[in-house]
Amino acid sequence: MSPIADGVFWVPMHQARRILLLAPIVALLHGAPCVPAAEPSPESRLQQAIRLSERRSYDESLAILQPLLPVVEKGNDAALHARVLFFTARAHYFKSDYRTALPLLERALTASRTAREQPFEATVLRAIGRLHKQQGTYREGLRILDEAIALYAKLGDAREEAGAWMTVGAIHDLTGNFEQALTAYERARAGLQTVKDAEYYTLFN
């Protein structure tokens, strides 16, 4: 091991950082090849953006996702393309930028169908329904949520189907259709009873 590498373990941290930055230059001076760092894969960049979004650092997440979009668009991985579109839309959604989020979600829906990723297709449909609820386009929201519910039922995903029913109930609440809202909430509760999801179930008791 070289003296420089050995030194990392005992010099102050600020000096260690300088040593690490200078290490490639020292290696070249001693004739050692300098291997450039590998470019992060699109998948790893997406995961980094998702982690930032989970911490509500939406602008930082978008700084990764927006330049990543044209990269994945050139590839042949429709499933990855759908996910990048979805999480880009999601960041805009949580910034209340619904006008930007909606066309991204619609493109994510097309890509998920191209990839034949039905579970993700259902996720995107439900997200579009929620967005329509937020921006007050209730009729379109209910139409899209009907599609999501039918697909979740086909997939046997009772928990997510119940989540879609909750959004349907919320839309009916907002439009004053209280009987329809109650019916939707009862459908959600019945679904959650079958999967014994205590976290969700407490919302209805």
Question: Residue 10's pLDDT is what?
Answer: 42
Q: What is the DSSP string of 132-159?
A: HHHHT-HHHHHHHHHHHHHHHHHHT-HH
Enter the DSSP assignment of 11.
S
Q: Give the model's pLDDT for residue 11.
A: 36
Give the per-residue pLDDT at 17.
52
d(CA 62, CA 118): 26
Please spell the DSSP secondary structure of 36-104, one letter per residue.
PPPPPPHHHHHHHHHHHHHTT-HHHHHHHHHHHHHHHHTSS-HHHHHHHHHHHHHHHHHTT-HHHHHHH
Q: Both tokens of residue 36?
A: 């450039």
Q: Specify the pLDDT at position 40.
A: 85
Q: Which two tokens stand for residue 75?
A: 């590839």
User: Rounded to whole angstroms, how far apart are CA atoms 73 and 176?
Assistant: 43
Backbone angles phi, psi at 132, to 5 degrees: -65, -35
In the chain, which residues have pLDDT < 70? 1-37, 196-205
| 8 A C-beta contact, residue 46 and residue 87 | yes
Indicate yes or no: pTM above 0.75. yes
pLDDT tens figures, 194-204: 876 555 544 44
C-beta of residue 72 within 8 angstroms of C-beta of residue 81: yes
